[in-house]
Structure 1
Amino acid sequence: MKIDGFIPFARALFLAAIVATKGATGMADINQTPVLEVTGGQSPSETYTLSVQDLRDIAVQDIVTSTIWTKGVHEFSGVPLHTLLQHLEVTGTTIEAIALNDYSVAIPLSDAEAGGPIVAFAIDGQPIPRREKGPLWIIYPFDQSPEFRTETIYSRSIWQLNRLNIVQ
């Protein structure tokens, strides 16, 4: 027996479930896709490949700040740079941060300290799209102190980050 409207409703419900499942699976895949490669340090031949989930598993810190590249104040979430390097047990003097387009900046290891920059993977709770400077962006707590609002520090805030090479 067919009840008027039930079949179209059931079909719509079924399609909605498929879309929702694909969306959830897609997000899980994004979190598991490698986004950062770390090389160098005391083991130059060793390479660490990390996904957003790997970064989340190390530690998550939020920085609420404005930037010279965005409008207003935003909440950036990411792993503190010093915590990431400690977790991987890499040491050196300089961090060569490299973007997807091979642009690179040198960040002194002394910047990688508590209260310093994070490797941000989210802005206002959402993944950072490539078109919006993602998937990773080194963010300093610019609003916290004038020492973070200098040309030098701004130049170290590399976006579309995908590699860190630790130089001895």
Structure 2
Amino acid sequence: MVVLNVWKNLTLVYLGIVIVCLGGCIKKPTNLQLEVWRKEASDSEALLQAVRNAEILADKAKNNSQRQWNLVIQGETKDGKSKTLNWTELLKLATTNVNTIDANNIITPNQVFKFQGIPVSTLLKNFGVPPEVTEITFVCYDAYQVTVKIQDLLTYPIILALAKDDKPIQRDQGGPLYLIFPYTEYPQIRQKYNEGSWAFYVTHVIFGTEKALVRVGERELNLAALDKLPQVTLNQNVGYRVWWPSSKVKLHGVRVRDVLSLAGIKPQSSVIVTGKPAIYRRNSEPTELASTDINNCNVILATRWGENKQPILAKMGGPVTLAFGNDCPSKTKNKRWVTFVEELTPQI
């Protein structure tokens, strides 16, 4: 509409010039009038180009946000391989409609919406699940995670929604990928999965729990390699966002300084710790550990927890997490406790 209006104004400017001359140029326009008309035409053309550019950029931004939003399937799939589904592939899988209230719609909590999306049961079918895997964890852009039992995914139409009432789901409403539960048709499911289970902007789906593997510089260290290092136990409250006990917890793992030493690295300044969620990978908000902190207090990669040294499952952000001991300075201890740790990157 804006472009049409600009074209209309531009046409009228030129039309004014043409009409004058079609009338036999009885009253010849002055040089000043001609200059005014030229300026108006030039300004209209500039405005038209500016509008065109703005619309192109808006369309590009919209398309890019969709194209760049991928869903990564990882963990204990049948072939054990990671798979990334791009936006086009996700749209093709979004074949199911679920009519339900939106647990995060506090303004009109009883309003029923039509959600269109991907049945998680379809992902189970496409990628295969070994018999010993009983749950799936959904990881979000902001490091939130939600775990759902596979039996429930097969019983109820739980979907990753791409659209709400035939419109793309906005980021502030949980999009582009929003994990929703059919509360209206199956109210009993609310007892198992409360409002906190409706996960915004899902980026990863993890079958079971991945094997521990941390990249340190040019090396990749698995659990067996980490277990050969001196083991440390912290007994304290933890700083992870969700799904951990609120009381003191025992965390078992290895010091970051020992991990770096095993990889043959002596950081001159700091180390950046990167986890799976996209927020950990933003250059503007890195979890950066100064070498003094690494060397002077217990900054650890935790691989087990509890009295019985249980593995840290995906539902808790495992298999490897970053933790800070109470002996660390407050400034260090209050840094982000990273879940789904994948990489340590020394800064030179």
Look up the match of 1:161.
Answer: 202
Give the 5 Å matches for 1:15-26.
Answer: 15-26=50-61
| Structure having greater relative contact order (Cα 8 Å, sep ≥ 6) | 1
Quote the offset at 1:98 in angstroms.
1.9
- TM-score where L is the length of structure 1: 0.80
Q: Unaligned 5+ residue runs, structure 2?
A: 1-16, 18-33, 210-348
- 1:144 alignment partner, SS class: coil
Distance 1:53 1:127, change over 3 A: farther
- 8 Å CA contact retained: 2:139, 2:204: yes
Quote the offset at 1:114 in angstroms.
7.2
Alpha-carbon distance in structure 1 between the residues aligned to 2:83 and 2:176: 17
Runs (4+) of structure 1 moved beyond 3 Å? none
- 8 Å CA contact retained: 1:64, 1:74: yes
- 1:158 alignment partner, SS class: coil
Alpha-carbon distance in structure 1 between the residues aligned to 2:89 and 2:100: 24
Quote the offset at 1:27 in angstroms.
1.8
Number of aligned residues: 164
Look up the match of 1:82.
Answer: 121
Q: Which of 1 and 2 has greater Rg?
A: 2
Distance 1:101 1:26, change over 3 A: closer
**Pairing 1:42–2:81 present:** no
Look up the match of 2:138.
Answer: 97
Look up the match of 1:67.
Answer: 102
Look up the match of 1:28.
Answer: 63
- 1:153 alignment partner, SS class: coil
Alpha-carbon distance in structure 1 between the residues aligned to 2:187 and 2:154: 17
- 8 Å CA contact retained: 1:90, 1:166: no
Q: Unaligned 5+ residue runs, structure 1?
A: none
RMSD: 2.5
- 8 Å CA contact retained: 2:146, 2:199: yes
- 8 Å CA contact retained: 1:121, 1:128: no
Quote the offset at 1:55 in angstroms.
0.7
Quote the offset at 1:101 in angstroms.
3.4
Same amino acid, percent of matched pairs: 18
Distance 1:128 1:48, change over 3 A: farther
Quote the offset at 1:115 in angstroms.
5.4
